[in-house]
């Protein structure tokens, strides 16, 4: 399995395949399993449908590693439009964005100022910005920027971060974030990382996830536990029960199109659930990371493709 995972993550960086896939009808059709659609209206429509099931949403305008300031600003414009639409339609939704989409690989001040304007907008409309976590070369700078934004009183309610359980450094990062009162989404981690920085074995990633999730559950902030793994969900539920932690003190988060059965079950049991809804033309790297997590998805997609 790790070989297939590396294969799909390597494919996620392949520019030729990316250009071909994102422009082909076949590619769009395959990606629709995990992506809400190409336009803002597709995302808003899906958010409304998901909300009707008692599930909240975080909207992700797909894109990463932009190559010009104009592209970064255009990406930010989409988020500004989303925040206005969320408020106008009274959706139970917030947004998730990546700092490399805001130009971090071009210039840190550019990414900082764009991120700040989006977080400010979210603060004014009563929404929230989750800064996604990318590969480990960006962990420290992402921590620094989120902490910087959170230190501004007008922004502190409107920004949070993601921490990846596979990284060795994450326990220390979580301690620091809890001490600063910053909201965290905990996930296992979706990138290919070297063995010097991250646990290579699933069993160790899972143990780390449970330890970090317990730390978050104990803290006073409202955090998100992002996973589709029954064992992680069961561990969090048990820990909360044993320690008298209310069900509405935290939320489970899952990706659009994955484990809808588990999403529904958790809602029925009275847990808060949020679904991450990605949309837009630049779906290829996101899609490949989903295949890397579960190569069996390739068979699943192939079977469904011929049933359309
Ligand atoms: P794991 O991969 O161990 O899978 C457990 C089980 O879940 C599988 O056996 C299968 O049943 C199901 N499953 C998992 N992935 C599936 C898939 N793709 N298709 C179908 N079934 C699947 N990562 C990151 O590095 N930075 C980030 O900012 C985020 N953000 C984020 C937000 C949200 C809301 C979620 C749910 C996830 C992320 N991730 C992420 C991705 C995360 O790091 C991780 O790669 C995936 O969630 C898969 O890990 P699981 O915890 O689901 O467990």
Per-residue confidence band for 303, with pLDDT thresholds at 50, 70 and 90: low
Q: Which ligand 1 atom is the nearest neighbour of the CA of 275?
A: 34
Per-residue confidence (pLDDT) for residue 113, from 0 to 100: 97
| Pocket perturbation via mutation, ligand 1, pick of 228, 251, 253 by most ligand atoms within 8 A of CB | 228
Question: What is residue 98's three-state secondary structure?
Answer: coil
Host H or E run for residue 212? helix 202-218
**pLDDT tops 50 at residue 295:** yes
- Pick from 16, 25, 61: nearest CA to 40: 61
**pLDDT tops 80 at residue 187:** yes
| Pocket perturbation via mutation, ligand 1, pick of 101, 229, 286 by most ligand atoms within 8 A of CB | 229
Q: What is the mean pLDDT of residues 149-170?
A: 97
**pLDDT tops 70 at residue 10:** yes
136 lines ligand 1 (CB under 6 A): no
228 CA to middle of ligand 1, Å? 6
Among the listed ranges 17-31, 129-143, 155-169, 284-298, which one has the minimum average pLDDT value?
17-31
- Percent of the chain residues past pLDDT 70, beyond the cut: 96
Q: What is the pTM of this model?
A: 0.93
Per-residue confidence band for 308, with pLDDT thresholds at 50, 70 and 90: very low
**pLDDT tops 60 at residue 259:** yes
Per-residue confidence (pLDDT) for residue 302, from 0 to 100: 65
Q: Which residue's entry shows tokens 């917030």?
A: 94
Compute CA distances 216 → 180, 222, 299, whole Å.
13, 8, 36
Q: How does the average pLDDT of the chain come out, rounded?
A: 92
121 CA to middle of ligand 1, Å? 29
Compute CA distances 301 → 26, 71, 82, 282, 304, whole Å.
11, 31, 29, 19, 5
**pLDDT tops 70 at residue 196:** yes
Compute CA distances 179 → 174, 175, 260, 299, whole Å.
8, 6, 34, 45
């Amino acid at each position: 399995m790790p070989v297939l995972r590396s294969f799909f993550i390597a494919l996620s960086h392949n520019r030729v395949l990316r250009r071909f896939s994102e422009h082909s009808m076949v590619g769009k059709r395959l990606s629709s399993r995990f992506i809400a659609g190409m336009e803002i209206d597709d995302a808003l429509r899906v958010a409304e449908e998901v909300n009707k099931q008692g599930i909240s949403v975080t909207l992700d305008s797909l894109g990463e590693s932009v190559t010009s300031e104009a592209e970064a600003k255009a990406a930010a414009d989409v988020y500004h439009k989303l925040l206005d639409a969320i408020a106008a339609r009274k959706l139970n939704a917030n947004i998730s964005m990546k700092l490399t989409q805001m130009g971090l690989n071009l210039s840190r001040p550019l990414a900082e100022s764009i991120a700040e304007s989006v977080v400010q907008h979210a603060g004014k409309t009563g929404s929230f910005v989750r800064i996604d976590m990318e590969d480990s070369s960006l962990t420290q700078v992402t921590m620094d920027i989120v902490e910087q934004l959170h230190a501004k009183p007008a922004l502190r309610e409107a920004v949070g971060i993601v921490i990846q359980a596979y990284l060795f450094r994450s326990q220390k990062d979580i301690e620091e974030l809890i001490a600063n009162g910053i909201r965290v989404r905990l996930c296992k981690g979706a990138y290919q990382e070297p063995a010097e920085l991250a646990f290579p074995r699933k069993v160790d990633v899972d143990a780390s996830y449970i330890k970090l999730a317990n730390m978050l559950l104990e803290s006073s902030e409202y955090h998100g536990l992002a996973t589709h793994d029954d064992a992680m969900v069961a561990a969090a539920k048990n820990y909360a029960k044993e320690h008298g932690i209310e069900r509405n003190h935290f939320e489970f988060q899952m990706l659009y199109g994955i484990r809808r059965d588990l999403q529904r079950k958790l809602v029925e049991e009275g847990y808060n659930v949020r679904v991450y809804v990605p949309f837009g033309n630049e779906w290829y790297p996101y899609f490949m990371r989903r295949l890397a997590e579960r190569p069996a998805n390739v068979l699943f997609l192939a079977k469904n493709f011929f049933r359309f």
